[in-house]
């Protein structure tokens, strides 16, 4: 086939499609009267490359010699008006209101990256905002490369999954990422598409899974060239990519995608698969699914086509990427969001659990011990979706929980001094529950070294605190190692089962048991003191006889000079039914503290 024959071949795909002889382009613009393409390859001459109308709203052309790195835009005519548009499928842009850039998704050298996500019950997630995780150069936001330089810190901490807040191109240089202007393009200020691929490859080399946060409940609302993309719209609404009635309205603008249009559903589906196929991410966290399946957060005002879109998308992802993880941010008690599609569910593997974080935060922030309910604590520890404890992600800090009028946990506990004894004790008390309760644990960047204040996208983490409060970092490290069963003596923390067997409302004491298969090295007992009082000679039930080794004491002064280093010890179990268990033990526990016990595994 000669170069002159290339235009006779239709290349599959959307956007810019790089091939051996040039680049093809396809765009959906159903109401356009004509579509041209201009760019570096034709010296930006407006009328030199007219796209062919393929039918069903699609336009296509193939340009020999057009190559990766060249900039371009579509030039659209509608009812006498002509205007430029960024390619909706552009993998790269110069900025959110700039030009599309031809990008070859197959041009990156993955060097045989074959990383496999660990089982969901072994995950420990670290939520990261690229722009503020580190300080960038010359006052700019941090980049993917800057974040890579901190991987040793994360490796020492023990986390094995990095959840990256949205990185689709957004307006300006600073953003949380939940206002995507171009959902297929990787944010330029962070480094762009190849830099993110390098981030994922290096994360995999270091042993981290990467979970990408994506936003499909709304787009924009600013710098949004999808808005009235081909000129058509109804009323004050946004045209072909959006609902053109009140269903478009969201808390973030009237830019909800029209899930009823097959082409829009395909657009979102293609984007979700792009992250997994092209960027090798290991899962997706889908933002505010409540506003995909309802119009206004009211369960009675359903958007069935949005729910169906998520279910179909998740079913395909599960089939193509069976080792991935799909996380919903629904923030409602919604077992259906994680149920399989054959059971009428949306097919997410797990969801952020508001039934855990809000009560935990309220308990540690309360001024009076009397207001802390151990019965409520029992219920939130025991809660699960669809009889699977790992269908929930549990946390005491996330980007939402430490902004929007709320601050970091230490700041909320002690606004005058977020590094005080009280702030350290109660915030680490919450951490102890995150890593011992059933669910997939998650922490937010900087939580491990007592970062205070509130989350701001233009204020980087204070990494000096990692030195000043290295003991708190060690506390998180030790909890994570127990959660991941590194010493093979705490397997129960990865198990499905929990029994909250001791609830003392008067003294604000609680104890519970975690297990996978039972037995030494498997059963774990967690004791929690939610009062500002030392408990001596305190008796609790134990599930078996023998010695119960103290694996963790949050009051140890290796974690903070402010801690009393209360001399908790191993506990011997005596026969005698207590708390419904066959044995009992006597222990000592400091104020606002967590103790973790297990037994040594017997040698076979």
Residue 8 has pLDDT above 60, yes or no: no
Q: What's the pLDDT band for 604 if we cut at 50, 70, 90?
A: low
Radius of gyration for the alpha carbons in the chain, expressed in angstroms and rounded? 27
Q: Give the model's pLDDT for residue 35.
A: 98
What is the mean pLDDT of the segment spanning 166-178?
Answer: 98
**What is the Cα–Cα distance from 219 to 306, expressed in whole angstroms?**
15
Q: Give the model's pLDDT for residue 320.
A: 97
Q: What are the pLDDT digits (tens) for 466-486? A: 999 999 999 999 999 999 999
Question: The tokens of 116 are what?
Answer: 């496999």
Residue 3 has pLDDT above 70, yes or no: no
Cα dihedral 50→56→62→63 (10° resolution): 40
**What is the Cα–Cα distance from 84 to 76, expressed in whole angstroms?**
6
Percent of all residues in the chain with a pLDDT value above 70, rounded to a whole number: 98
Q: What are the pLDDT digits (tens) for 73-88? A: 999 999 999 999 999 9
Q: What does DSSP say about strands 81-85 and 71-78: parallel, antiparallel, or unpaired?
A: antiparallel
Q: Which helix (H) or strand (E) holds 551?
A: strand 546-553
What is the mean pLDDT of the segment spanning 434-461?
Answer: 97
User: What residues form DSSP beta bridges with 523?
Assistant: none
Q: What are the pLDDT digits (tens) for 497-515? A: 999 999 999 999 999 999 9
Q: What's the pLDDT band for 568 if we cut at 50, 70, 90?
A: confident
Q: Which helix (H) or strand (E) holds 588?
A: strand 581-589
Question: The tokens of 149 are what?
Answer: 């330089």
What is the mean pLDDT of the segment spanning 292-303?
Answer: 97
Q: Which helix (H) or strand (E) holds 381?
A: helix 374-382
User: What residues form DSSP beta bridges with 53?
Assistant: 59
Q: Are 430 and 436 in contact (CB under 8 A)?
A: no
Residue 2 has pLDDT above 50, yes or no: no
Residue 210 has pLDDT above 90, yes or no: yes
- Averaged confidence pLDDT in the chain: 96
**What is the Cα–Cα distance from 526 to 512, expressed in whole angstroms?**
5
DSSP code per residue over 390-453? GGEEE-S--TTTTSTT---HHHHH-TT-TTSHHHHHHHHHHHHHHHHSSSEEEEETTGGGT--S
């Amino acid at each position: 086939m000669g170069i002159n024959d290339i235009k006779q071949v239709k290349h599959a795909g959307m956007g810019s499609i790089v091939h051996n002889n040039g680049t093809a382009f396809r765009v959906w613009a159903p109401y356009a009267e004509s579509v041209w393409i201009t760019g570096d390859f034709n010296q930006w001459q407006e009328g030199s490359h007219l796209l062919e109308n393929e039918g069903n709203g699609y336009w296509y052309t193939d340009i020999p010699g057009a190559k990766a790195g060249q900039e371009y835009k579509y030039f659209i005519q509608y009812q006498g008006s002509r205007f430029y548009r960024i390619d909706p499928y552009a993998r790269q842009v110069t900025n959110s209101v700039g030009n599309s850039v031809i990008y070859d998704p197959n041009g990156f050298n993955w060097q045989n990256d074959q990383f496999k996500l660990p089982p969901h019950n072994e995950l420990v997630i670290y939520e990261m905002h690229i722009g503020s995780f580190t300080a960038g150069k010359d006052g700019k936001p941090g980049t993917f490369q800057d974040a890579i330089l901190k991987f040793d810190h994360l490796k020492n901490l023990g986390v094995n999954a990095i959840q990256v807040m949205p990185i689709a191109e957004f307006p300006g240089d600073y953003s949380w990422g939940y206002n995507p202007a171009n959902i297929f393009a990787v944010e330029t200020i962070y480094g762009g598409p190849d830099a993110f691929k390098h981030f994922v490859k290096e994360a995999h080399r270091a042993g981290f899974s990467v979970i990408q946060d994506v936003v499909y409940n709304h787009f924009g609302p600013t710098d949004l060239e999808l808005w009235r993309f081909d000129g058509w719209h109804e009323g004050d609404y946004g045209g072909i990519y959006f609902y053109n009635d009140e269903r478009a309205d969201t808390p973030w603008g009237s830019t909800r995608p029209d899930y009823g249009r097959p082409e829009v559903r395909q657009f979102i589906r293609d984007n979700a698969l792009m992250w997994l196929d092209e960027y090798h991410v290991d899962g997706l966290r889908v933002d505010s699914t409540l506003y995909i399946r309802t119009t206004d957060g009211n369960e009675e005002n359903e958007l069935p086509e949005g729910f169906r879109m998520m279910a179909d998308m998740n079913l395909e992802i599960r089939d193509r990427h069976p080792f991935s993880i799909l996380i919903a941010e629904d923030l409602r008690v919604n077992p259906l969001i994680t149920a399989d599609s054959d059971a009428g569910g949306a097919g997410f593997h797990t969801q952020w659990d508001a039934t855990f974080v809000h009560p935990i935060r309220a308990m540690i922030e309360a001024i009076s011990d009397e207001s802390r309910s151990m019965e409520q604590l029992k219920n939130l520890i025991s809660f699960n979706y669809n009889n699977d404890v790992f269908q929930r992600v549990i946390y005491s800090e996330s980007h939402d929980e430490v902004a929007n009028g709320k601050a970091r946990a230490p700041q909320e506990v002690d606004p005058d001094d977020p590094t005080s004894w009280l702030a350290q004790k109660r915030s680490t008390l919450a951490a102890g529950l995150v890593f011992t309760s059933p669910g997939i644990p998650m922490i937010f960047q900087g939580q491990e070294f007592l970062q205070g204040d509130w989350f701001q996208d233009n204020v980087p983490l204070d990494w000096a605190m990692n030195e000043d409060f290295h003991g708190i970092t060690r506390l998180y490290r030790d909890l994570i190692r127990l959660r991941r069963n590194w010493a093979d003596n705490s397997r129960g923390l990865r198990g499905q089962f929990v029994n909250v067997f001791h609830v003392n409302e008067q003294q604000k004491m609680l104890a519970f048991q975690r297990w996978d298969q039972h037995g030494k090295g498997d059963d774990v007992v967690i004791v929690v003191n939610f009062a500002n009082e030392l408990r001596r000679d305190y008796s609790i039930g134990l599930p078996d006889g023998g010695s119960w080794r103290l694996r963790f004491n949050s009051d140890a002064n290796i974690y903070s000079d402010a801690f009393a280093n209360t001399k908790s010890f191993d506990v011997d179990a005596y026969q005698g039914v207590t708390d419904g268990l066959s044995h009992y033990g006597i222990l000592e526990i400091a104020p606002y503290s967590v103790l973790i016990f297990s037994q040594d595994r017997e040698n076979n």
